[in-house]
Structure 1
Amino acid sequence: MGRHSVPDPDEAPEDSSRRFARPDDPRAPHDDGAEGFSYDQPTHEQGYEAGPGYAEPGYGQPGYANRDFAGDEHDDQTGYEQAAYDDADYEDDYDEDGYEEPAPREPGYAPNFWETDEPDYRYAEREAPTKSFAANPPPPRPPASGRAHGGDWEGGEWTGSHRAVDPKRRGVSVGVIAALVAVVLVVGAVIGWRFFGDALSNRSHAGAARCVEGEVAVAVVADPSIADPLRALADKYNETAAPVGDRCVKVGVKSADSDAVVNGFVGAWPGDLGERPALWIPGSSVSEARLEAAAGAQTVSDSRSLVTSPVVLAIRPQLKNALAQQNWSTLPGLQSNPTSMDALNLQGWGSLRLVLPLTEDSDASYLAAEAVATAAAPPGMPATAGTSAISTLMASQPKLADGKASTAFDALLQADDPATAPVHAVVTTEQQLYQRGGSTPDAKDKLAAWLPPGPPAVADYPTVLLAGTWLSQEQVSAASEFARFLRNADPMSELAKAGFRTDGGTPPKNDVIDLGSLAAPMSVGDNSMRSTLANVVSGPPSAGPSAQAGAGAVSVMLDQTLNLAPVVTALKARVQALPANAVVGLTVFNGSEGSTLIPVGPLGDPVQGQPRSAALAAGLDGLATTTSGRVSFTTLRNVYTDAMTNFRAGQANSVLIITSGPHTDQSLNGPGLQDTIRAAFDPDKKVAINVINVGDDPDRATWQAITEITGGQYQSVPASDSPEMVANINQLLD
């Protein structure tokens, strides 16, 4: 039989059990091959003739010549050659239709590429001749019930070696299965965790959306000029605000002047303003400075400008051209000179008659005072060096029924003759004048705005976020979010419509207002300096509604040996700012005697045919400086006795002494004065003694002692015209 000839019918093939014996079969001729590999050495078997050029019939792959084995351990073997192909060539065959992956290998067999999968290497039937060489193909054989290892295709896949791949699946490593199971469990756990986490989160959001814990009230207090638009914006915000925890946010806006807020933090909070606020929007950062000075810097957690409006003078149109060459520094002179308008070609107009309102003014009076003091201070000196100019401006302003801006505007606009009107000008803001002009018929014929040249004084309307024990974390967070909301485009647009200047917005304009762009705002100083200047205008914050500012009873005792001009100016300005129910009297002393010019009583009561406030101003103007000595101790003994006798219940009673010393009394010395005051003092009817001591007074120890006995204050100032003098008068004459 030739190499590729088909065996004759009478030729019997070698015993299949010998060719495909198990490695552990005693009949296996070799056992030095790879593990699990049965290697057949060509031999002389029955029916076969040994000799060169012959290969065993029927066991080679069709179309492949026998080749040498690749392994070195078989280099000495001849006659059989392993087919030159890789198992990878057949990987794709498993994907063809009709074929399944190889069945799992049996335990105990190594996973070599030549490994056989059969449980038994012996065949029950002979191998059929190779189909490609059969002259007469046999009829189809019935489907094999077991594993096939012959040359025929019996449901398996021909691999090119001495095996066929069975259609049954191969085995999978237990480690692989365990790894896959672990991966599935981990992925399932992650998915489950995220599912339940999302469910809980969604449930939390749903609960918050339903406000299951109610509402979180956020109190906002704003300057009256901005309160109305803020209230409308708060209503819109409440409709869309995200919940804080499980509580819905409800912002409420109250209107209040800065003095009411600052005084409320110093003493008892006004009940008509509701709860203490989480957010405060005053007219300017001057009010923030006053709050920090009175209640501590820790009260404010954040502050930044929301909108702006420059400070202007609301005037009659006839006055606008006359003021063209004026500035902040010239205003005190125009205010105090009774005929200053004559020099401006306004015959018969008298003085400037400028009003600085203390309420409904959006801090405009505080800002104007800063500008006046800054302009009046000597070059290189701080603004506090110009406080006397503020006092002059305040002391000479027209006397009206109250300190409201609306009252001042009415006096400005309702007079038939502008020249004889009680008011020629009102300190205000551009925004307030914009609103006033929009509501005044024929406004352009009655009202105009004057912006002093130079850096403008600007109301910056800060959003002051407050901090304190009265606030919860939810309220603090919600207030911060509302302040952030106000800086969005839509709220800014609404505020611009109300006459405020906004970032990137167009300046307000109507028949009265058309100021255009502005220069950089005026820089005054730190918060401490700003608070000091503000106190010159209105005095320091009081202890709340139970001790209303200016509602005390004060007996002023003034040393005539002082440089009186700045002291008189400061006293007049302070009296002008006090309410009509404030109780004030004036006693002066020199080297020979002490005399009472104006008895103690309410400023609104008539004295010598005029209000006590006017009588006080006239009495102060009539004083002259003396150099004959000071009978201060005996004068105080008399004044203190009178104050105790006429004690006013429900008011803060005090005596204010302004002196430079030393005393020249022969009948009463320092220790004797202390004994007298100590004997007269009654804790249940407290009359405090406050002293402003000018310069280096030898009687300093005595003055300090009597202030301690009565629970008063001792203040030392360097000179009569010092900024400290004005500040202390405003603080102690209250």
Structure 2
Amino acid sequence: MGRHSIPDPEESSGVPPEGAGDATESFDRPLVGPDDYPDYRSDPAEPRYPRHGAPDYGQPDYPDTDYPSGDYGTDYEADYRTGYEDGYGARYRSGEHFDDEYEPEFVESDYPESDYSDTPEDRAPETAAPRFGRSRDETPSRAAATPPPRSRRQHSGDWEGGEWTGSHRAVQSGRRGVSVGVIGALVAVVVVVAAFILWRFFGDALSDRSTSAAARCVEGQKAVAVIADPSIAEPIKTLADKFNENAHPVGDICVAMDVKSADSDRVINGFITAWPAELGDRPALWIPASSVSQARLEAVAGEEIVDDSRSLVSSPVVLAVRPELKDALGQQNWGTLPGLQSNPNSLTALDLPEWGSLRLALPLSGDSDASYLAAEAVAAASAPAGQPPSAGTGAVNTLMAAQPKLADNKASTALDALIKSGQPATAPVHAVVTTEQQLFQRATSLPDAKRAVASWLPPGPTALADYPAVLLKGNWLSQEQVAAANEFSRFLRKPEQLAELAKLGFRTEGGELPKSDVTNFAPVSAPLSVGDTSMRATLANELTAPAGNPAVTIMLDRSMSAQEGGKSRLANVVAALTTRLQAMPPTAAVGLWTFNGVEGNNEVSLGPLSDTVDGSPRSETLSAALDDASASGNGAVSFTTLRLVYDEANSRFREGQTNSVLVITTGPHTDRSLDGSGLQDYVRRAFDPAKPVAINVIDFGSDSDRATWEAVAETTGGSYQNLSTSASPDLTAAITRFTG
């Protein structure tokens, strides 16, 4: 084969060189052949293997070739050295054959230029391909603008990291440039990832430090006070111990539930006056027997004292009775109990001769609020149709006034009197208001319970002890105590804890009730609802402050024609007074005066309710006079009428009773014969400290005479109360207070 000639056919191996394209191979740019460049000089054909002897490569890098080394002598290098070494690189980079498109890829190499000084021109880097052997003085042809495609890799030696340049030497391909935007994006990603890792690291470190500090109770241990009704206090203590064993610290403080037992009266009185020292701190969680106690607390301490309240367990109110009495009560209900209580021989009509009356005890201590709930049921059942439960308070007072006289008002004392009596008919107690759960517990201690006591559930809406878990709020509690109490409340409602309470006779959601010979834990009707918090507190007051033995003269303003709650203000006041009269004992002395804008009238003189007036009991005469009262326009001669009423009250003063005058008015005073200062002077002269007659005033709205009313009330030791409306339980409460 000639040094610069194409190999003869007989010299060819018949195998195309490695890397040669085939007929179907496509390229990014069109192939440029020799015909496009007439001056192109034919070079030797590409050998099958790279030749030996390239200056910068060691012998072991390339295998032996099938061609003699003499074909590749020094003359070959001399022919091409000048074309490449002297001008090729400079002319290419100066722009004559330089294409910007390829600059980032080929402008630099990892090898110094001197390494290419012995490279033949036909093996020059691909970027030089467009020259195809032109002299440096010639104008670039089309090949410079459209360079031929890059030749495919054609070596098969050990080194595969670069590309073949057309010579027998492999050249490292140039590093490709990277966009500044890409670099910036990568840097931003790295910064964000690093920041996140650091944040997580330091956050976890601080969290671990806080957790470790909390686990060590850095700030010490703090007790969280819990007060529970005596009927549920012991199981709550047991559950609190379980909670404390696994309780997590709150912040840096370890908390522990401290459960104490107390009746609702002690808790409520503690918020009114001084908190009992024996109960420890004021509670964060209170579990009374019923929401009646919650209503009573809100009435004296404000609704804002309660943060949250939800029922934990429940137990219906029942009557614990002798077994013989249970069957006799089959046709009775809450509304008939006052009559059975007050009639000395009521049980004779129920086929129980010699049993006398019902003898129902209503204990107020240790009874799980059962008596308060029973009072609500009796009031609701006894109130006239269309009237609120407060209209039935007279029946409640009758029930309370006629109950058996015992050593104290404890539930245990009443149950002992019921169960331990040898003769049921002559026993001091025939029935006791209690809860199903308490009766179940008492029965478990009796050897033959079903012969000693039975349970009777009155028909109708169920009076229910709902045991609310009341979360309190106030300045005596820290944030940690509030959080811990909340967590304990949730803990108590979990099925495992409720199951334990169900075993003790409490009704729970999904709980399995125990077996009993005394109570069968039968399904009950819907719970009784008697109204809002104010109504419940009013009804409860009938038990805590029952009607006394007063001597009161009522002075009623007939000019109260304003409409409130669908009725006139006067009608609402008359209804409340009528209800109160029914609740007062027969020995109470009551008189009635009315006045309008013209005159004042003495409707019924002061005297005992049991006395006869014109052939009828004074109580009936008073009720009839109230029913006849009607609104009579504007104006009121209240000052002059009060002077007349106060004179009569002083002249009829009743020893041993609380004497007073109750003024119910809406103002203003319209009689100019006696002004406010004149009335105050008169009252100061008429008041006798040895025979005190207090003046109490219920005043509606914005009365311009308020200062006068407040002054005369203060002078006589009475009280003044302003009401915005008569359509409210506040009216009933005020009348009850001033006639008690």
1:366-396 deviations in whole A, cap 9, x for unaligned?
Answer: 1111111111122333222222211211121
SS in 2 for 1:333: helix
1:529-550 deviations in whole A, cap 9, x for unaligned?
Answer: 222211222239xxxxxxxxx9
CA distance in 2 between partners of 1:568 and 1:714 (Å): 21
**One-letter amino acid of the structure 1 residue matched with residue 20 of structure 2:** Y
Share of identical aligned residues, percent?
52
Are 1:555 and 1:656, in contact at CA under 8 Å, matched by a contact in 2? no
SS in 1 for 2:404: coil
CA distance in 2 between partners of 1:429 and 1:359 (Å): 13
Q: Please point out which of 491, 498, 503 is paired with 2:509.
A: 503
CA distance in 2 between partners of 1:300 and 1:205 (Å): 32
1:298-339 deviations in whole A, cap 9, x for unaligned?
Answer: 111111111000000011111000001111111111111110
Aligned to 1:366: 372
**One-letter amino acid of the structure 2 residue matched with residue 353 of structure 1:** R
CA distance in 2 between partners of 1:72 and 1:352 (Å): 120
CA distance in 2 between partners of 1:321 and 1:656 (Å): 48
Cα 1:151/1:705, change in 2 over 3 Å: closer
Range moving further from structure 2, 472-481 or 627-636: 627-636
Aligned to 2:694: 689
Q: What is the CA-CA distance between 1:233 and the residue it aligns to?
A: 0.9
CA distance in 1 between partners of 2:117 and 2:427 (Å): 134
Q: Within the alignment, does 1:64 sit opposite 2:43 as a pair?
A: no
Q: Please point out which of 162, 165, 182 is paired with 2:166.
A: 162
Q: Please point out which of 523, 534, 556 is paired with 2:550.
A: 556
- State how 1:582-731 maps to structure 2 within 5 Å: 625=618, 633-634=646-647, 636-637=649-650, 655-657=659-661, 675=681, 678=684, 689=694, 691=696, 706-713=712-719, 727-728=733-734, 731=737
CA distance in 2 between partners of 1:165 and 1:388 (Å): 121
- State how 1:241-256 maps to structure 2 within 5 Å: 241-256=247-262
Q: TM-score, normalized by length of structure 2? A: 0.66
CA distance in 1 between partners of 2:527 and 2:251 (Å): 42
CA distance in 2 between partners of 1:152 and 1:422 (Å): 120
Q: What is the CA-CA distance between 1:502 and the residue it aligns to?
A: 0.2
Cα 1:332/1:70, change in 2 over 3 Å: closer
Q: Please point out which of 394, 418, 425 is paired with 1:419.
A: 425
Are 1:359 and 1:403, in contact at CA under 8 Å, matched by a contact in 2? yes
Q: TM-score, normalized by length of structure 1? A: 0.66
Q: What is the CA-CA distance between 1:119 and the residue it aligns to?
A: 2.7
Cα 1:363/1:240, change in 2 over 3 Å: same
Q: Please point out which of 492, 496, 499 is paired with 1:486.
A: 492
Q: Within the alignment, does 1:407 sit opposite 2:413 as a pair?
A: yes
**One-letter amino acid of the structure 2 residue matched with residue 287 of structure 1:** S
Are 1:386 and 1:723, in contact at CA under 8 Å, matched by a contact in 2? no
Q: Within the alignment, does 1:513 sit opposite 2:473 as a pair?
A: no
**One-letter amino acid of the structure 2 residue matched with residue 207 of structure 1:** A
Q: What is the CA-CA distance between 1:227 and the residue it aligns to?
A: 1.0
Q: Within the alignment, does 1:439 sit opposite 2:445 as a pair?
A: yes
CA distance in 1 between partners of 2:206 and 2:409 (Å): 59
1:387-406 deviations in whole A, cap 9, x for unaligned?
Answer: 22112111211122222111
SS in 1 for 2:694: strand
**One-letter amino acid of the structure 1 residue matched with residue 397 of structure 2:** S
Aligned to 1:77: 37
CA distance in 1 between partners of 2:549 and 2:681 (Å): 21
Q: What is the CA-CA distance between 1:190 and the residue it aligns to?
A: 2.8
Aligned to 2:399: 393
Q: Within the alignment, does 1:198 sit opposite 2:233 as a pair?
A: no
Q: What is the CA-CA distance between 1:523 and the residue it aligns to?
A: 2.2
Are 1:373 and 1:387, in contact at CA under 8 Å, matched by a contact in 2? yes
CA distance in 2 between partners of 1:686 and 1:276 (Å): 43
Q: Please point out which of 335, 341, 344 is paired with 2:341.
A: 335
CA distance in 2 between partners of 1:242 and 1:336 (Å): 57
Aligned to 1:208: 214
Cα 1:673/1:399, change in 2 over 3 Å: farther
Cα 1:422/1:730, change in 2 over 3 Å: farther
**One-letter amino acid of the structure 1 residue matched with residue 694 of structure 2:** I
Are 2:162 and 2:170, in contact at CA under 8 Å, matched by a contact in 1? no
Cα 1:729/1:312, change in 2 over 3 Å: farther
Aligned to 1:119: 112
SS in 1 for 2:289: coil
Q: What is the CA-CA distance between 1:515 and the residue it aligns to?
A: 3.0
CA distance in 2 between partners of 1:377 and 1:673 (Å): 40
CA distance in 2 between partners of 1:127 and 1:561 (Å): 133
Are 1:357 and 1:427, in contact at CA under 8 Å, matched by a contact in 2? yes
- State how 1:347-358 maps to structure 2 within 5 Å: 347-358=353-364
Are 1:354 and 1:424, in contact at CA under 8 Å, matched by a contact in 2? yes
Cα 1:345/1:682, change in 2 over 3 Å: closer
Q: Within the alignment, does 1:529 sit opposite 2:535 as a pair?
A: yes
Are 2:163 and 2:170, in contact at CA under 8 Å, matched by a contact in 1? no
Are 1:561 and 1:625, in contact at CA under 8 Å, matched by a contact in 2? no
Cα 1:656/1:349, change in 2 over 3 Å: farther
Q: Please point out which of 288, 308, 326 is paired with 2:294.
A: 288
Are 2:383 and 2:389, in contact at CA under 8 Å, matched by a contact in 1? yes
Range moving further from structure 2, 429-438 or 267-276: 267-276
SS in 2 for 1:463: strand
Cα 1:286/1:462, change in 2 over 3 Å: same
Range moving further from structure 2, 463-472 or 265-274: 265-274
CA distance in 2 between partners of 1:325 and 1:632 (Å): 49
Q: What is the CA-CA distance between 1:210 and the residue it aligns to?
A: 1.0
SS in 2 for 1:312: strand
Aligned to 1:110: 103
Are 1:158 and 1:164, in contact at CA under 8 Å, matched by a contact in 2? no
Cα 1:273/1:565, change in 2 over 3 Å: same
Answer 1 or 2: which has greater helix percent: 2
Aligned to 2:310: 304
**One-letter amino acid of the structure 2 residue matched with residue 217 of structure 1:** A
CA distance in 2 between partners of 1:167 and 1:216 (Å): 79
Are 2:694 and 2:713, in contact at CA under 8 Å, matched by a contact in 1? yes
Are 2:109 and 2:174, in contact at CA under 8 Å, matched by a contact in 1? no
CA distance in 2 between partners of 1:660 and 1:294 (Å): 24
Q: What is the CA-CA distance between 1:706 and the residue it aligns to?
A: 3.5
1:674-706 deviations in whole A, cap 9, x for unaligned?
Answer: 6575358799x9978254899xxxxx9998764
**One-letter amino acid of the structure 2 residue matched with residue 633 of structure 1:** Y
Are 2:611 and 2:618, in contact at CA under 8 Å, matched by a contact in 1? no
Are 1:570 and 1:726, in contact at CA under 8 Å, matched by a contact in 2? no
CA distance in 2 between partners of 1:212 and 1:249 (Å): 12
Q: What is the CA-CA distance between 1:344 and the residue it aligns to?
A: 0.4
1:460-494 deviations in whole A, cap 9, x for unaligned?
Answer: 11111112222222221111111111001121112
State the superposition RMSD in angstroms: 5.3
Aligned to 2:637: none
SS in 1 for 2:328: coil
CA distance in 1 between partners of 2:27 and 2:580 (Å): 124
CA distance in 1 between partners of 2:206 and 2:369 (Å): 51
Cα 1:454/1:178, change in 2 over 3 Å: closer
CA distance in 2 between partners of 1:588 and 1:504 (Å): 55
SS in 2 for 1:320: helix
1:251-273 deviations in whole A, cap 9, x for unaligned?
Answer: 11121211222222233322222
Cα 1:186/1:595, change in 2 over 3 Å: closer
Question: Tell me, which stretches of 5 or more residues in structure 1 are unaligned?
Answer: 1-6, 14-47, 84-97, 100-106, 130-148, 541-549, 574-584, 598-615, 644-652, 662-668, 695-699
Cα 1:239/1:77, change in 2 over 3 Å: same
Cα 1:325/1:641, change in 2 over 3 Å: closer
Q: What is the CA-CA distance between 1:525 and the residue it aligns to?
A: 1.6
